[in-house]
């Protein structure tokens, strides 16, 4: 098959591993910097132009879209979808996953557990907001933050009030969330590929830090999920419409609490800590689906 990886950096571990996994299975692979694609629209003839060439013979694409290019990246994926190219990540699912509010609304509807969360239209009733998530300490998050940036712990009521007032003043959209103390800076990342948890790790934040993002220096180790954690991860990925997903959750006495579902989850931490060939699993998923789709088209 002819596979395209949408990635802005060929040197990233995840990109390199996906290339390796493709080559091992004798697929042709090309890395496309999606930020340099031009989208051409014309009656019944959508095209993607890249360095003067039309990209119309991919069987499948693997989007690895960074948070700073979500809008343009999703438009590129959508263009490939219009061209009937199989995409590992749907454009809509990518957009959904990048908005923490929209994601939590969907996950709540599906009956998934989550830290209690409040979103308001820059409400000045900070007292009520703080009370509704059980008081301070509490967590405040930018709607579109990632890698732990934009996630703030307000340790007491005064801090919570001033941080909320500051964000409101800047017209920055945030959610306010109950702080789950009992997890003590650890969370769980479950990696889902095609309706199966293919690997899971427990991430531990650096001392003095509550955010367990690997980008912030957290460490990771393999973990065996409980039945309810596994089922929550699969349900969350499904609710978001993601075939490949990194589901972040906090274990708690009330069961797993979902934080977010990542649509371009990194491979380095999870492959290193679990020893599983996750890049290979993603390529096998493509093999099962892109072929099926081709058959459907020719039938």
Helices (H), the chain: 13-24, 70-82, 91-97, 100-109, 126-132, 157-169, 227-240, 268-274, 278-298
188 versus 286: smaller Cβ distance to Mg ion: 188
Q: Shortest approach of ligand ADP to residue 265 CB, angstroms?
A: 11
Tokens representing 82 are 């219009």
36-44, 87-95, 137-145, 156-164 -> range binding ligand ADP (CB under 6 A): 137-145
Under the criterion CB under 6 A, does residue 59 sit at the interface with ligand ADP? no
Under the criterion CB under 6 A, does residue 179 sit at the interface with ligand ADP? yes
Choose, by CB under 6 A, the member of 79, 89, 126, 177 that binds ligand ADP: 177
Tokens representing 153 are 């712990």
Under the criterion CB under 5 A, does residue 248 sit at the interface with Mg ion? yes
* Rg over CA atoms, the chain: 20
Quick check: 183 and 248 in contact, CB under 8 A?
no
192 versus 259: smaller Cβ distance to ligand ADP: 259
Residue with tokens 């993601």: 242
Strand partners, 32: 6
Choose, by CB under 6 A, the member of 180, 220, 286, 290 that binds ligand ADP: 180
Under the criterion CB under 6 A, does residue 280 sit at the interface with ligand ADP? no
147 versus 168: smaller Cβ distance to ligand ADP: 147
Q: Which of 152, 158, 232 is nearest to 188 (CA)?
A: 232
Give residues 203-262 in contact with ligand ADP (rule: CB under 6 A).
210-213, 248, 250, 259-260
Q: Shortest approach of Mg ion to residue 124 CB, angstroms?
A: 29
- Residue partners of 20: CB distance under 8 A and separation at least 6: 279
Q: Length of the chain, please?
A: 299
Burial of residue 189 (number of CB atoms within 10 Å: 0-12, 13-18, 19+): buried
- Please count the residues of this chain forming the interface with ligand ADP, following the rule CB under 6 A: 22
Phi and psi at 249, nearest 5°, equal -145, 155
Q: Which does 34 bind (CB under 5 to 8 A by kind): Mg ion, ligand ADP, none?
A: none
Residues that bind ligand ADP (CB under 6 A): 115, 139, 141, 145-148, 151, 177-180, 183, 187, 210-213, 248, 250, 259-260
């Amino acid at each position: 098959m002819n596979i395209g990886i949408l990635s802005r950096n060929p040197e990233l571990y995840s990109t390199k591993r996906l290339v390796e996994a493709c080559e091992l299975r004798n697929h042709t692979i090309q890395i496309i910097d999606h930020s340099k694609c031009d989208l051409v629209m014309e009656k019944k003839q959508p095209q993607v132009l890249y360095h003067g060439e039309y990209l119309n013979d991919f069987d499948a694409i693997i989007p690895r879209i960074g948070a700073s290019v979500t809008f343009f990246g999703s438009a590129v994926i959508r263009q490939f979808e219009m061209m009937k190219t199989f995409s590992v990540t749907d454009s809509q699912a990518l957009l959904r996953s990048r908005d923490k509010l929209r994601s939590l609304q969907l996950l709540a509807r599906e009956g998934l557990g989550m830290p209690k969360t409040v979103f308001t239209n820059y409400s000045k009733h900070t007292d009520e907001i703080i009370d509704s998530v059980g008081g301070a300490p509490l967590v405040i998050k930018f709607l579109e933050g990632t890698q732990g940036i934009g996630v703030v712990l307000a340790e007491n009521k005064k801090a919570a009030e001033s941080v909320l007032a500051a964000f409101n003043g800047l017209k920055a959209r945030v959610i306010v969330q109950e702080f789950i103390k009992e997890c003590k800076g650890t969370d769980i990342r479950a990696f889902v590929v095609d309706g199966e948890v293919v690997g899971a790790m427990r991430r531990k934040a650096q001392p003095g830090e509550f955010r367990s993002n690997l980008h912030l220096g957290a460490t990771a180790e393999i973990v065996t999920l409980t039945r309810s954690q596994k089922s929550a991860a699969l349900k969350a990925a499904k609710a978001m419409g993601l075939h490949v997903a990194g589901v972040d959750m906090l274990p708690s006495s009330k069961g797993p609490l979902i934080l977010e579902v990542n649509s371009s989850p990194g491979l380095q931490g999870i492959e290193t800590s679990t020893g599983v060939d996750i890049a290979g699993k993603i390529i096998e998923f493509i093999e099962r689906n892109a072929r099926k789709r081709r058959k459907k088209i020719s039938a």
